[in-house]
Amino acid sequence: MKAHLTRRYMFSASHRLHSDAMSKAENAATYGKCNNQYGHGHNYALEVTVSGPVDESTGMVCNLLDLDRFVQREILQRFDLENLNNRAEFIETIPTTENLCTAIYDILQRGFTHAHLDKVRIEETMMNSFEYAGE
Amino acid sequence: MVYLTRKAEFAASHYYHNPDLTPEENQRIFGKCNNPNGHGHNYTLEVTVKGEVDPRSGFVVDLKQLKEVLHREVLDAMDHRFLNKEVPEFSVQIPTTENLAIAIWQRLVSKLNKAQLHRVRVYETPDLFVDFYGEA
């Protein structure tokens, strides 16, 4: 029997949305308040969905301890209470939540081997959220 | 095709233990959840059904019937119960959220007429949920 398991994590980070390829006026028009040169922050909610057959011996898709340990080490330690613009993942891309979704998906896809990765979903605020399923 | 989701809550206790494993293995795999005295959760259940909207009633499903089935098959059996000891499925299976979602699907799937069961989602806590779509 195949089940899909979703775990939710919280982290806080700052960012500034700004493209060097755009003029000052274009940046302001595209990113609005998010272009403020000093940056601003969010409490992000991250949902990681994995799937697979339910192991008959454990009753689990994967052991939550493994998922929690991986996310803690590879994602939360990397991004929590950091300025996303300073992170290596965002040297060439703008730390929008779209790009944050794909960056986190790639980290999980490369390193988490205990279950199939279905999807990464991030709530930037209570009013908006983004999903990436590797498409 | 329209999808309709009905939400319900129940509270239950459980613990995780596989008698085929050694006490050390049980402890390593299940951690604090292996405590035989059990612990509890407020579960939130979301049942999603799908179907065509009936042109006469405007409904996908008779909500009253869905609610009755949900109460009879799931809530009466699981609310304020010790899952390992009082719900037959879990005398053999470990009552993880995965197995709970599967058990609830199996209890509902044959009892619903007209609407087709699409998804069972079980929240163990606000930070952890499992979806089951009846996939083999």
Choose the closest CB to A59 out of B96, B126, B135.
Answer: B96
Split at pLDDT 50, 70, 90, the class of B26 is very high
pLDDT digits (tens, 9 = 90+) for A1-49: 999 999 999 999 999 999 999 999 999 999 999 999 999 999 999 999 9
pLDDT of amino acid B114: 73
The residue of chain A with its CA nearest to that of B99 is A59
Residue B97: Cβ-neighbour burial (10 angstroms; 0-12, 13-18, 19+):
buried
What is the DSSP secondary structure assignment for residue A33, as one 8-state letter?
G
Choose the closest CB to B127 out of A8, A49, A59.
Answer: A8
Tell me which residue has tokens 């939360």: A76
- Fold of domain A2-13+39-132: Tetrahydropterin Synthase; Chain A (3.30.479)
Beta bridge partners of B44: B9, B123
pLDDT of amino acid B57: 85
Split at pLDDT 50, 70, 90, the class of A60 is very high
**How many Cβ atoms sit within 10 Å of the Cβ of residue B86?**
14
Q: Does A127 touch chain B (CB under 8 A)?
A: no
Q: How far apart are the CA of B53 and the nearest CA of chain A, in angstroms?
A: 28
Does the annotation mark B124 as catalytic? yes
Q: How far apart are the CA of B133 and the nearest CA of chain A, in angstroms?
A: 7
pLDDT of amino acid B74: 98
Beta bridge partners of B4: B49
Segments in chain A forming alpha helices (H): 24-31, 64-71, 77-79, 97-111
Determine the Cα–Cα distance for residues B112 and B60; give it in Å rounded to an integer.
12
pLDDT at B113 over 90: no
Return phi, psi of residue A123, to 5°: -95, 120
**For A70, how many CA atoms within 13 A lie in the half-sphere containing its CB?**
20
Per-residue pLDDT, averaged over A93-104, amounts to 97
Per-residue pLDDT, averaged over A112-116, amounts to 98
Give the domain ranges of chain B: 2-132
Query: How far is residue B136 from each of residues B91, B108, B116, measured CA to CA in Å?
Result: 22, 16, 17
The residue of chain B with its CA nearest to that of A67 is B128
CATH of region B2-132: 3.30.479.10
Determine if the pTM surpasses 0.90. Answer: yes
**For A18, how many CA atoms within 13 A lie in the half-sphere containing its CB?**
17
Asked if A89 and A114 count as a contact pair (C-beta separation under 8 A), the reply is no
Per-residue pLDDT, averaged over B31-42, amounts to 96
Does the annotation mark B80 as catalytic? yes
Q: Which residues of B touch A (CB under 8 A)?
A: 16, 18, 20-21, 29-31, 93-99, 101-102, 126-133, 135-136
Residue B76: Cβ-neighbour burial (10 angstroms; 0-12, 13-18, 19+):
exposed
